[in-house]
Amino acid sequence: MKPTRLGHVAICVQDIPKAVEFYKTLGMEVAWQDADWAYLKAGEDGLALLSPSYAQAGPHFGFIFHDRAEVEAAYDRLKASGVYVTEMHEHRDGTASFYGKDLDGNWFEYLYEPAPVPASTSV
């Protein structure tokens, strides 16, 4: 059970639209924007912007898994070993995740994100 990569960092911002525009000037692309959070991408890496009213999570970093069974196994293993973890959460985009705290109280997320399907090249 190994994460595919460290996929994103989530930070708190005061104004989602202003923060989105700022990070777009740094070259990031908007993957998702809602009233209380936004997700921007720089290549395969992401930056989540969380408003003060976002209740699901606070600042954290997220590990990506392309196999949902691995995330579920990790959840069971971490919970059984006494690591603080939240319940699994189904996201609107078909991904699923849970949050946990490390030994110093920092939040992390284990996120199931299906592997991208390569575009077919027709000749």
What is the residue-level pLDDT of the chain in tens, covering all 123 positions? 678 889 999 999 999 999 999 999 999 999 999 999 999 999 989 999 999 998 888 899 999 998 999 999 999 999 999 999 999 999 877 889 999 999 989 999 999 988 776 655 555
Beta bridge partners of 38: 33, 49
Residue 119 within a domain? no
Do β-strands 60-65 and 89-90 pair in parallel, antiparallel, or remain unpaired? unpaired
Instruction: Quote the CA–CA distance of 120 and 110 in Å, as a whole number.
Output: 30
Number of domains the chain is built from: 1
Instruction: Quote the CA–CA distance of 29 and 25 in Å, as a whole number.
Output: 9
Residue 122 within a domain? no
Q: Which CATH number belongs to the domain containing residue 108 in this structure?
A: 3.10.180.10
- Give the three-class secondary structure for 62: strand
The values of phi and psi at residue 89, to 5°, are -125, 125
Residue in the block written with tokens 């699994």: 88
Range of the domain at 63: 5-112
Residue 52 within a domain? yes
Q: Cβ of 51: how many Cβ atoms within 10 Å?
A: 17
